[in-house]
Amino acid sequence: MHLAEVPSEPRPGESKLRAPTALLIVLCACEVSTLPPWTSTQPSPADAGAAPARTDGGASSDAGPSATADARPNPAPGGCPGVFCEDFESGKLDPAVWTRQLVDTPNQVSVQSTNVAHGTYAAKFHAKGGTNFATIIAEKLPASLATDYFGRMSFMSTDFPTENGGHTAFIWSSNDPTKYPYQDHHLEVGSYVGGGQPTWQLTYWTGDGPEYPAAGGRIPKNAWACVEWEFNDVPEQAAVWVNGSAAPEGFESRSMGGGASGLLGKMVTLGIGFRTFHPNGAPDIDVFADDIVLDTKRIGCPK
């Protein structure tokens, strides 16, 4: 498969990196869409195979009952099909799971019931144009996911940054939660804008060495999609599937760094939401997430 190489991101301190303004690092205290396209048309592939202060700002729940925090994410209906599940059906963010947020002022992370893929609730990440962060992070993934894992999430983004060459992350796993976002090593699924058309960008990113990005496929805009991904540290590779298919919407990067292996050492976090490296000229953007499952094998789309 042809990989379209994209320029490496500038490092912190270089002229092109725009540091986020009024970034909040937060401990979690915590519009109408059409039927998701995979609901009736896509079968589940069963055999496929000095830091800012921490505050309570930036997070909210648009609606939902209060619930006692549980050490595990809420299971999917009928039980969790993987080793990690989150469907937001408690109506709020679980602070035992989503232990950290990075949210620029005036951005907001919420659990809402206006736009959902399944069930009653979904997460919403609202990013004002020109800002960098509206994210939540689970900092303690199960040990079985440390080297190679598959993920599934119902995903929707209302728009994308418009700066040519712009790079935005929606899903990532890091080797060190204390060093994210500028000094860790992580694999990510994001977008790349070249020639005005957003495509997927799969990246091995590091704040202190070379990074390995590649872009391709097509990202659905302003519509729910079933997004599956694989992050593998041995060897370094990533893949994304859309509504069960690898191409032309999906994309794979199977030889990051020319076949490098073990660059992360381990994956211990899951981050989701909106993080852009190129905020100039970006419109206001809402990202929605629902039906999150992680496992050691491919999961398939929700029915």
pLDDT 10s digits, 127-158: 999 999 999 999 999 999 999 999 999 999 99
Query: Domains of the chain: which residue ranges?
Result: 21-295
What is the rounded distance in angstroms from the CA atom of residue 92 to the CA atom of residue 68? 10
What is the rounded distance in angstroms from the CA atom of residue 117 to the CA atom of residue 7? 34
Burial class (CB in 10 A: 0-12, 13-18, 19+), 154: buried
- Residue-wise pLDDT for 17-76, tens only, equals 333 344 444 444 343 334 455 443 333 333 333 333 333 334 444 433 333 222 334 444
Maximal CA-CA distance, the chain: 51
- Residue-wise pLDDT for 244-275, tens only, equals 999 899 999 999 999 999 999 999 999 999 99
Domain made up of 21-295: CATH architecture: Sandwich (2.60)
124, 111 Cβ separation under 8 angstroms: yes
Burial class (CB in 10 A: 0-12, 13-18, 19+), 158: middle
- pTM attached to this predicted model: 0.79
